[in-house]
Amino acid sequence: MNSTGLVGKRFLVVFLRPLLLSALLLGSSPLMGFSTAEAQLGKPEGLYYKSWAIIIGIEHYVLAPPIPGAISDAKKVADAFRRLGFDEVIEFYDKDAGSRRLHQLFNDMLPRKVGRMDRLVVFYTGHAGFMQDLEGQDRGYLVPFDAQVNNVTKSITVEQLKEFTRRSASKHTLLILDAPVFGWETTEPPSPSLEGRLAPESETERRAVQVISAAGQGETIARTEKPSRFVEALLTGLSGSADQDGNGWLMASELGAYLVRQIEVASNGTQHPSSLRIDGDGDTVLIEGRRSAAALGAGPQSPSERHQEARAQYERAVVLLREGKSAEEALDRLNRAIVYDPTYGEAYILKSYVRSEVVPNLDEALAAGLLAVTHAPKNPDSFYMLGLIYEKRGKFAEAEAALRQALSVNDAYPDVYFALGTLYADHLKDQAKSVEAFRRYMELGGTEARARTAVTEADRTSIP
């Protein structure tokens, strides 16, 4: 394998992870991940001050049958919200999702911590049950880790969830329930205007509480797939596929409509999700597209607004590449990011990769690589990509210098040592330096066969 083989592996597995996004799960209890709420006065620079994703997955119940794959599904959903840029992604699995803790979460922690200009998404996968209220109406409930399916005593009822959403100050709240949970009262959505479809900003200013439930009353959710049918469609929708009007904005109403269609078709009409708005007349934003000229004049104006738009375009490109979607569209997103913020170094790094490996144009790859080292000199990937581009162009001395510079930023970067090993062996014809680089690569945990063979043969020939 040559050095460029590792580039694809490196960038698709490591670089395209949301490096700047991480869950704030601290200590042994997910509740410790909540930071102290700050006063929220005035309007945020973007749509929200803070975005919260609460992920609840229960697989191994104490008093109920297990749900195979529930935790794996929930973790994939958590990763999806990290990729979407959510600030705090807090995860509750099995024993962390017991009755006492979930009641504390909805009754105390979230109402105290989530601010009035925040966005809150709650995802739940686990058992659900139903009961009749005092008026004889069927109402669903969530079943905690230590509760029984057919006993509402410890459960989280629809009424309790509605009370929680009334108490929560968040501007937008979205409940996504991979379970048949029903019994909500809804508000009628306004008829969409052409202006509203083209410029969703007006809907983002109004309060909204929305619910997407995976199935209807009396329906059984098939659990033979891993991930579940609903989670698989949810992940695809969150990657951008649910943006049916193609305006770059993904709204909760769009996601809900997409899931209803996808699941009804995939289940041959045996599973009917619901998508409801139970309070307010706004719409939760899941992916923010380009703001309209009507809302922002000629577009993002301040440096902060332009940087935010650049980051949104960059992160959309990341999602497209991770999902194996259109590389040309990803490249277009990166070019937009650079237009909005010409100093956004990570966009240049990713563009140099795309132009080198995915949609080849070595002139553009080199131009992007040179701008990457200018604007992201503390990121070793800037120099790593530049070195590999120089190697492809036959400029081997420049390639060596760039790769050495990457090591000056991070001297424990295994892939750079592998690239140096192949460069010395194939082009600079320096066997000793090649073996030295391969040996360091192996010491750092590298597993490529070429490096292992080169080191083994060098050790064998050195034995008298």
Q: Where are the domains of the chain?
A: 18-287
Q: Do 218 and 179 form a contact (C-beta atoms < 8 A)?
A: no
pLDDT at 18: 36
Does 106 score more than 90 pLDDT? Answer: yes
Percent share of the chain, pLDDT over 90: 48
Kindly tell me the sign of the dihedral angle through the C-alpha atoms of 267, 268, 271, 273: positive
Tell which residue, 371, 338, 363, 334, has the closest CA to residue 350.
334
> Using 50, 70 and 90 to split pLDDT, how confident is the model at 202?
low
Asked whether the predicted pLDDT for residue 191 surpasses 70, the reply is no
Q: DSSP assignment, residue 295?
A: H
As a residue count, the chain comes to 464
> In this predicted structure, what is the pLDDT of residue 36?
47
Q: Is the per-residue pLDDT at 119 higher than 70?
A: yes
Residue 387: the pLDDT is 95
Query: How does the average pLDDT of the chain come out, rounded?
Result: 82
pLDDT for residue 329: 86
**Predicted confidence (pLDDT) per residue in 82-104, tens digit:** 989 898 999 999 999 999 999 99
Quick one: what percent of the chain has pLDDT higher than 70? 80
> Does position 159 have pLDDT exceeding 80, yes or no?
yes
pLDDT of 22: 29
Select the more confidently predicted residue: 219 or 449. 449
Q: Please, are residues 96 and 29 in contact by the beta-carbon 8 Å criterion? A: yes
What's the pLDDT score for residue 4?
38
The tokens for 149 are 């399916």
Tell me: pLDDT of 33 over 50: no
Residue 401 pLDDT exceeds 90:
yes
Residues 297-328 pLDDT 10s = 445 567 888 888 888 888 888 888 887 778 88
User: How far apart are alpha carbons 318 and 325 in whole angstroms?
Assistant: 10
Q: Is the alpha carbon torsion for 283, 287, 288, 289 positive or negative?
A: negative
**Cα–Cα distance measured from residue 375 to residue 278, given in angstroms and rounded to the nearest whole number:** 46
Q: Domain 18-287 carries which CATH code?
A: 3.40.50.1460
At 88, list the tokens: 């705090």
What is the model's pLDDT at position 136?
67
The CB density around residue 303, as the number of other CB atoms within 10 Å, is 11
| pLDDT tops 90 at residue 255 | yes
Which tens digit of pLDDT belongs to each residue from 362-394? 988 999 999 999 999 999 999 999 999 999 999
Tokens 């120089």 correspond to: 390
Q: Are 91 and 75 in contact (CB under 8 A)?
A: yes
Contact predicate 347/338, CB 8 Å: yes
Which residue did the predictor score with more confidence, 407 or 20?
A: 407
Please report the pLDDT score of residue 267 as a whole number.
Answer: 84
C-alpha dihedral, 419 to 421 to 425 to 428, nearest 10°: 70
Is 192 or 30 the better-scoring residue by pLDDT?
30
Give me the pLDDT at residue 200, please.
61
- Looking only at the bridges linking them, the beta strands covering 88-93 and 51-57 are parallel
Q: In what order do the strands lie in the sheet containing 51-57?
A: 88-93, 51-57, 119-125, 172-178, 208-213, 274-280
How do residues 52-70 score in pLDDT, each as one tens digit?
999 999 999 999 999 999 9
Stated pTM of the model: 0.56
